[in-house]
Amino acid sequence: MSDEGQDEPHSSAYFGEQREYWWNADYLELLASRWQLDAVRSVLDVGSGIGHWSTLVASILAPQAKVVGVERDSRSVHRAREQARERNLADRLEYLVGVAEQLPFEDGSFDLVTCQTLLIHVPDVATAISEMRRVTRPGGILIVAEPNNAASLLVATSSDVGEPLEAQVERMRMVLTCERGKIALGEGNNSLGDLLPGYLADAGLTDIETYLNDKTFALLPPYDSDAQQALCSELREDAEQRRWVWSQAEARRFYVAGGGNESEFDALWEHRLNEADEALQQLEAGRLHTGGGSIEYIIRARRPS
C-alpha cells in the first residue's frame, strides 16, 4: 500500500461532525459557574481551527462576551467565519490568521484566553503558554483543554477484548514510538495533557485547577443517538481512507523519527488496519460496543494581578 499525501488544513481529519459531541454542555456550564466566568467579556481562542471550541465557549458565557479565534491556516479561518454567519454568531465570533507563538495582540488584551487540542501540536509549548499569558489581562484566566491520546488505545472494545497480549503490546509500542517521533520532529506531543499543570505553574500562572472531561465516546447498539451516529460515520470514514490515528505517510514519518525500524513499518501498519477492519465488521453487524473512555484534561489557571 502506498503512502498518500493530502493538501488539507492541519488536523482537518478531526474537524468532522463527531467533534460537535466532544463535551457535555451542562458540564461546561458547571465549570463556568465554578470558575465564575460570568464577568468575562473578551476571549481569545488560540488555534481555533474551524470554530468548534470558540462556539462552545461563547455558549457558556454572557451574551455580551465576544470571542476572537486565531488560527494559522487561512482555509480554516474562512470556514470558521462562514459557520459563524450560518449560526447567526458573526457578531460574537471573529476569526483571524495568526500563530500561537506570536499572537498579534497587545499585552493584557483579554479576560480569558483558551485553547483546545492546540498545544499537542506545538513544538515550543513554553513559548505558546508565555504568549497566552502575555495577552491575558492581570487577574484574567487561561483555560486549556488537552489530552493524553495514547491512553485511549488501552480502552477495550468488544472487537479487541481477549486478543493476545502481544497484539496489545505491539499496538501500544507503535503509537508510543510514533508519539516520540512527533516530538523529535518538533511537531508536538500527542499526550501533553498530563504535563500541562506543571508547565502552567512554570510560566508563573497561579490558582491552577485540573479536571477531566466527563464525556466518553461510548458505542452501544443500536447506535441511535446523534453522537453515536457521528462516531460511526467517523469510524467508517477512517476505514475508507485507511487511517489509524494518523495517515500512513504521517505514521511512517513519526515511527522512523521515534527510533522505529522502517523495514517493519508496513507489517505493523497492516496489523492496525486489520484491527480497524475487524471493529468495522462488528459495527456493521450491530455488535461493536465500548465505554469509550478517554483522558481529556481541562485546566484553569490565572495570571497573577
Instruction: Assign residue 304 the CATH number of its domain.
Output: 3.40.50.150
Looking at residue 35, its pLDDT comes to 97
Give yes or no: residues 132 and 34 share one domain: yes
Q: Are 237 and 22 in contact (CB under 8 A)?
A: no
Looking at residue 79, its pLDDT comes to 96
Give yes or no: residues 100 and 180 share one domain: no
Give yes or no: residues 70 and 109 share one domain: yes
The pairs formed by 219-227 with CB atoms below 8 angstroms and a separation of 24 or more are 219/157, 219/283, 219/288, 219/289, 219/290, 219/292, 220/289, 221/286, 221/287, 221/288, 221/289, 222/286, 223/283, 223/286, 226/21, 227/18, 227/21
User: How do beta strands 136-148 and 295-302 pair?
Assistant: antiparallel
Q: What type of residue is 220?
A: L
CA distances from 299 to 116, 143, 212 (A): 11, 6, 8
User: How do beta strands 110-116 and 295-302 pair?
Assistant: unpaired
Does a structural domain hold residue 7?
no
Give yes or no: residues 279 and 173 share one domain: yes
Give yes or no: residues 122 and 161 share one domain: no
Looking at residue 5, its pLDDT comes to 39
Sheet (strand 42-46) strand order: 93-97, 66-71, 42-46, 110-116, 136-148, 295-302, 206-212
Q: What range does the domain containing 223 cover?
A: 150-187+219-289
Give yes or no: residues 265 and 276 share one domain: yes
Does a structural domain hold residue 10?
no
Does a structural domain hold residue 80?
yes
Give yes or no: residues 158 and 261 share one domain: yes
Give yes or no: residues 123 and 223 share one domain: no
Q: With pLDDT > 70 as the criterion, what percentage of the chain qualifies?
A: 95
Looking at residue 2, its pLDDT comes to 35
Give yes or no: residues 31 and 98 share one domain: yes
Give yes or no: residues 175 and 111 share one domain: no
Give yes or no: residues 195 and 299 share one domain: yes
Residue found under cell 510560566: 203
Does a structural domain hold residue 53?
yes
Give yes or no: residues 73 and 99 share one domain: yes
For residue 108, is it left (φ>0), alpha (ψ between -120 and 50) or beta?
left
Q: Are 101 and 130 in contact (CB under 8 A)?
A: no
Which residues of the chain are modeled with pLDDT < 50? 1-6
Does a structural domain hold residue 6?
no
Give me the number of domains the chain comprises: 2
